[in-house]
Amino acid sequence: MPVTDLLRRNAREHGEEVALIELNPAMEDPRKLSFKEYDLVQQTESHPYRREITWQVFDEKANRVANMLIDRGVKKGEKVAILMFNCLEWLPIYFGVLKSGAIAVPFNFRYTANEISYCLDLADVEILFFGPEFINRLQDNVEDISRGRILFYVGDGCPDFAESYRELVADYPSSDPNVPLSNEDFGAIYFSSGTTGFPKAILHKHLSLYQAAEMEAVHHRTNRNDCFLCIPPLYHTGAKFHWMGSLWSCSRAVLLKGTKPDVILKAVSDEQCTLVWLLVPWAQDILEALDSGAVKLSDYRLDQWRLMHIGAQPVPPSLIRHWKDYFPNHLYDTNYGLSESTGPGCVHLGLDNINKVGAIGVPGYRWACKITDEMGNAVKQGEVGELCVKGPGVMTEYYHNPEATAEVLRDGWLLTGDMARQDEEGFIYLVDRKKDVIVSGGENIYPVEIENFLEEHPKISDVAVIGLPDKRLGEITGAIIKIKDGMTATEEEIQRFCAQLPRYKRPKQIIFADVPRNATGKIEKPLLRKRYGVENLVEKEYKS
């Protein structure tokens, strides 16, 4: 069954119930963000800017998009891209693309003009939906981007190189086009995050999308009384497929614009959210705000909040221990996955396993895992090897890249590129990215282990550990450390703390600086290696 059938079911059986809510506490200019639903804007003291749609309206909007695309000549299997910030239009457009039989291609909103052009070409995109925030970027390369493509602008003040989605879509029927789809049809192309190089196009069947929806609901026991708070960008598989649990269970979801602790807690309180997916930096910010007294739990209604889960990056165990100090009754889960595995959940901790915090967990719903050596043989329990996963959410291929596909797909198994180990109870612990392992004097050093250790320091807000070039050892360990606001620390202080580590794991260089992360919270280690690695090498050569 394709996920479009879940939307049809929700509209048919619970059409008058609220499906999606958009919150923008910053009160951005609504004219820049949407179109006819502006009539629904509610400006109250609680929420300066709030919109909502029901399941029936959601389905009707998707149908209008689908009928418009079909009228413009889109055929089954053609590619339609979406370049927009989170808003109430995002998911209806996505499902309209699917209902037309086309393949949905969400774009990272951080892409430069050249990256947008590259990804449009790579994925053979025929049509692009884009929001007002991207006018200037597209205009920088408009001749290349618009050549042979239709550009639909979602917002007011349509630029002259595009067509106004607002003016066009309302004229199309809200009846379902009923394009036949099966789980074996292709449904979406997602792009690799770019933290390991230029993006690759990841092709998924409808089977992957359906698997993600069912798995999310199973993992987090999502039911119709739940309300999911979605903060990360919908272009990312993490946000999209965590939301799919709401689609599966026919429950509400809130799209929140804002990541400040008070904004998040107020949204949870006002909308009575029960499920909240956070990235590590946001959870850390909430804890720091609570520690400092900048926010107080007594100001919010949070009794209904039952689950906080984290994914997209390794989670410091110290963070969860601290979280439970403030939220002792919260269920907790961590989810591991890749865009190649339809996002989060091919491995997950599980709601009943908080005693195993630090592990990424066990194989997810309908997934299998193994840990292998360089030859593809399973390693002994407890030994470090590459994590491989297999299940109904594995990608079909890297689109137009058979060489890269062959490197990561072996007999149905997806080689994740992550180094891991498994304990005697079957729980998997992530050690590090295969490409991030530091080899110093022939010794393998796993940065995540050192990062988790440094996160325990009471003054450290964020940390990234990378390999820095060294003539004698090949690489040495460098720690980029962000100190908490209002605090100070010295290199000697950090080194004294690190004396608890084995000597070979102690950072040889401490750099106090911000830790760059992408939109899904992952540390941008290639950027750090470029920023500090070359400079470090030049300095050492000069001193020698």
State how far the Cα of 191 lies from the Cα of 83, in Å rounded to an integer.
13
> For tokens 């965590």, what's the residue?
242
Mean pLDDT over the full length of the chain: 87
Beta partners for 480? 464, 511
Pick the range with the lowest mean pLDDT from 36-40, 321-325, 440-444.
36-40
The rounded distance, in Å, linking the Cα atoms of 265 and 256 is: 11
Rg of the chain's alpha carbons, rounded to an integer? 24
pLDDT-derived band of residue 284, with 50, 70 and 90 as boundaries? confident
SS3 at position 362 = strand
Tokens encoding 456: 């325990």
In eight-state DSSP terms, residue 249 is H
Mean of pLDDT values over 216-237: 94
Is the CA virtual torsion 136, 141, 145, 146 positive or negative? positive
Question: Under DSSP, is residue 403 helix (H, G, I), strand (E, B) or coil?
Answer: helix
Residue 378 β-bridge partners: 372
- Please tell me what DSSP assigns to residue 155: S
Return d(Cα 279, Cα 264) in angstroms, integer.
Answer: 12
φ, ψ for residue 343, nearest 5 deg: 80, -150
| Fold topology of 439-543 | GMP Synthetase; Chain A, domain 3 (3.30.300)
Q: What is each CA distance from 428 to 154, 342, 374, in whole angstroms?
A: 43, 19, 18
73: left (phi over 0), alpha (psi -120 to 50) or beta: left
Q: For 15-50, what is each residue's pLDDT tens digit?
A: 999 999 999 886 544 434 333 333 333 333 334 588
Structure tokens at 284: 């850390």
Q: Which residue has the higher pLDDT, 39 or 330?
A: 330
Could you say which DSSP state residue 327 is in?
-
Give the tens place of pLDDT for each residue, 159-207: 999 999 999 999 999 999 999 999 999 999 999 865 445 789 999 999 9
Angle, helices 206-220/3-14, rounded to nearest 10 degrees? 60
SS3 278: strand
Task: Answer whether 53-210 and 439-543 agree in fold.
Answer: no
Beta carbons of 275 and 302 less than 8 angstroms apart: no
Give the pLDDT mean for 524-533: 80
> How much of the chain is helix, strand and coil, in % rounded to 5?
35, 25, 40
Q: Are 189 and 123 in contact (CB under 8 A)?
A: yes
Task: Return the pLDDT at 34.
Answer: 38
Please state, in angstroms and rounded to a whole number, the distance separating the CA atoms of residues 416 and 68: 39
Close Cβ partners of 308 (under 8 Å, ≥ 6 residues apart): 276, 278, 283, 323, 327, 330, 331, 332
Q: What is the reported pLDDT for 430?
A: 82
7, 52, 84, 182, 377 from 60: Cα distances, Å: 10, 14, 20, 21, 51
Taking only the tens place, the pLDDT of each residue in 91-128 is: 999 999 999 999 999 998 888 888 899 999 999 999 99
Q: Which residues contact 360 (CB under 8 A, 6 or more apart)?
A: 334, 336, 347, 348, 349, 420, 428, 429, 430
The CATH architecture to which 53-210 belongs is: 3-Layer(aba) Sandwich (3.40)
Task: Check: CB of residue 20 under 8 Å from CB of residue 69.
Answer: no
* Domain range list for the chain: 53-210, 439-543
- Structure pTM? 0.81
pLDDT in tens, 471-493: 666 678 899 999 998 899 999 99
